[in-house]
Amino acid sequence: MKKRLVLLGAPGSGKGTQAELITRQFGIPVTSPGAILRREKDLGTPLGTETSEIIQQGGLVPDATIVKLIEDWLRLHGAHGFVFDGFPRTVPQAESLAAILNRHHTPLDLAIWLEVSEETVRDRISGRLQCRSCGFVTSVAAGNFSERAVCPYCEGPLVRRNDDDLEVLQNRLREYHAKTEPLAAFYQDTGLLHRIDGNRDREMVFGDISRLIESK
């Protein structure tokens, strides 16, 4: 299935979880700017070092940097469709993505917005764990990781992310309200936006997303 879609929403809205479920169910390749940047950091590249400092403080990496990374990824993997988890995050990024896709005559199919309350965001972020090896994201509540915090997919160590501290979260939410929320109007105008209640359990959310993908 060669669908092209973006998953949008606040930090902790479940974008990563839903992206993984989509790729398992439909075989659509998934990536995120965060996953690409973490790989750069692990490789010790100058870009990885520079951007990790920005992320740890709760800031957003410059649009030009993110767009270049995404365009490179599309060149290698975009022929089979894609799910972008948390990209675009600003209107200029969305405009750049549209321009890239238009050049290749591969327009976006869906922009899915996971709507969650700030209470839900704080509850989820406070218990979030991420695999240091493969980037898989889960939560303390989602499984029994108290005795053995190990990734169920690659057996890498599950750790709390530095950018999940409360002060950093507040910065991320401010950035989200100022720069990401305007994307709703952008995609509403294109007719691509679909809002889904992300406060529910992940199976219910995924059921709505699956029906939406299958209808397109």
Active site residue 172: yes
| 15 labelled catalytic | yes
pLDDT in tens, 16-50: 889 989 999 999 999 988 888 888 888 888 888 88
Active site residue 103: no
Quote the longest CA-to-CA distance of the chain. 51
Cα–Cα distance measured from residue 205 to residue 207, given in angstroms and rounded to the nearest whole number: 5
pTM recorded for the entire structure: 0.77
Assess whether 41 carries a catalytic annotation: no
pLDDT at res. 28: 95
Tokens of 150: 């190990």
Secondary structure class of 43 (helix, strand, coil):
coil
State the architecture of 4-119+164-215 in CATH terms: 3-Layer(aba) Sandwich (3.40)
Q: Clarify whether 128 is annotated catalytic.
A: yes
C-alpha count within 13 angstroms, C-beta hemisphere, residue 196: 28
Distance CA 184, CA 196 (A): 12
pLDDT tens string 82-136: 999 989 989 999 999 999 999 989 999 999 999 999 888 887 777 678 887 777 7
Question: Which of 161, 179, 200, 202 is labelled catalytic?
Answer: 161
pLDDT computed for residue 36 by the predictor: 85
Which residue in 3, 4, 15, 38 is the catalytic one?
15
**Residue in 4, 38, 124, 172 annotated catalytic:** 172
